[in-house]
Amino acid sequence: MEQRRLGRTDVHVSALCLGTMTFGEQNSEAEGHAQMDYALDKGINFFDAAELYPIPPKKETQGRTERIIGAWFKKTGNRDKVVMATKVVGRTVMDWFRENGKTGELSRDQIEFAVDRSLKNLETDYIDLYQIHWPDRAVSGFGSNPTRWSDVDPVAGENSIESTLEILADLVKAGKIRHIGISNESAWGTMRFVAASERLNLPRIVSIQNAYSLVNRTFETGLAEVARREDVGLLAYSVLAQGYLTGKYRDGALPAGSRKTLFDRLQRYEHPRTLQAVNAYVDLAKEAGLDPSQMAIAHAMSRSFMTSVILGATRMEQLETDIGAADITLSPDLLDKIDALHQEFGNPAP
């Protein structure tokens, strides 16, 4: 498994990362442990979680994913073999993340509470990569990289990027976290973090976790140059468009146990133009003799701004297929055909 440098640190992570947001909802603890065993055996040393997980977010299950990972660390003794990433929620109306019932925000007391709880859940005394799951400020659209702009009013009592970075710097000094990342962030927000770290002599962000797929390449329009020049590499999520790019939902199919069947939360990918694009990419993969999932993952891995592609699977055979993409190199001709489809369909699912 190829290893890639995390930001400007001396840490190297696998080009594929094990996503864990299904652990504790769609996957049992035993299934989660089996996935971690398999991923580590295949050379994946990078796991990603969040205090929010599992998905969909619920008070009853919050933190269960981290606890499943923590139980695996305790059982296997493999903590030192894994670069562990997790996240703190940004501003949210959800009120079950804090003991006092406050709605979420990136204030000092909330971040410190979240870190301490994640450390306890994960059965560890340090987190390798601590990420802000989404901004404290109001943004035009979730993911902060919309295809069209909508004006938003500033949030009352907004916590500044500088103050957030100062809080995280203190946690680095305390040894609770090692490196800092952001997620669902814009080019403006990313550069504000970089500039603040340089101006105030604070720890530098090392990564950005945003959506990226064949039907959502908006990262390339502004953030790709930031990622390359500032060494804030992408950790891509939803590379399979929440399963649509596998072809399993084609023609209205609803596989048993799938996320859409269980939760019906995939509306981003259900516009007519999006479904046309998905079908075109799936057909192209089959014409090239490739598994559609592996083509989508291999394309993401080939991007120069990519640090690691996050995989999410509920069944072991899915994970095996996804990890198999590491052995695939897309030909220049196939990459040109992918770009031609992108020229035709654009970003129908940002």
Q: What is the pLDDT of residues 6-25, one digit of tens each?
A: 999 999 999 999 999 999 99
Spatial neighbors of 334 by CB under 8 A, at least 6 apart, are: 284, 288, 295
Q: Is residue 50 part of a domain?
A: yes
**151 within some domain:** yes
Q: Classify residue 94: in a domain, yes or no.
A: yes
User: CA-to-CA distance for 128 and 117, rounded, in angstroms?
Assistant: 15
**Closest C-alpha to 87, from 180, 186, 197:** 180
Residue for token digits 């990313």?
190
Domain harbouring 22, CATH code: 3.20.20.100
Nearest-CA neighbor of 296 among 219, 240, 216? 240
For residue 339, is it within any domain?
A: no
Domain contains 250: no
Mean pLDDT, rounded, for 183-204 = 97
Tell me what pLDDT residue 108 has: 97
289 occurs within a structural domain = no
Residue 90, pLDDT > 80, answer: yes
Asked whether the predicted pLDDT for residue 30 surpasses 80, the reply is yes
Contact in structure between 236 and 211 (CB atoms under 8 Å): yes
User: What is the domain range of residue 237?
Assistant: 3-243+301-329
In degrees and rounded to multiples of 5, residue 222 shows phi and psi of: -150, -35
The predicted structure's pLDDT at residue 251: 82
Q: Which of 38, 53, 126, 249 is catalytic?
A: 53
Q: Give the residue, 102 or 281, on which the prediction is more confident.
A: 281
Q: Which residues pair with 210 in a beta bridge?
A: 236
| pLDDT at residue 272, as a whole number | 83
Can you give the pLDDT at residue 229?
Answer: 98
Band of the pLDDT at 50, cuts 50, 70, 90?
very high
Question: Which segment of 64-68, 256-260, 273-277, 286-290 scores lowest on mean pLDDT?
Answer: 256-260
pTM: 0.96
Q: How many CB atoms lie within 10 A of CB 120?
A: 14
Please state the φ and ψ torsions of residue 176, each to the nearest 5 degrees. -80, -35
Q: What is the pLDDT of residue 29?
A: 98
Domain count, the chain: 1
- 53 catalytic residue (yes or no): yes
Domain annotation covers residue 204: yes
pLDDT at 100: 83
pLDDT bin (cut points 50, 70, 90) of residue 264 is confident
> Residue 141: pLDDT above 90?
no
- Averaged pLDDT for residues 33-42: 98
Give a yes or no: residue 29 inside a domain.
Answer: yes
* Closest among 127, 111, 120, 116 to 168, alpha carbons compared: 111
- What pLDDT score does 268 carry? 77
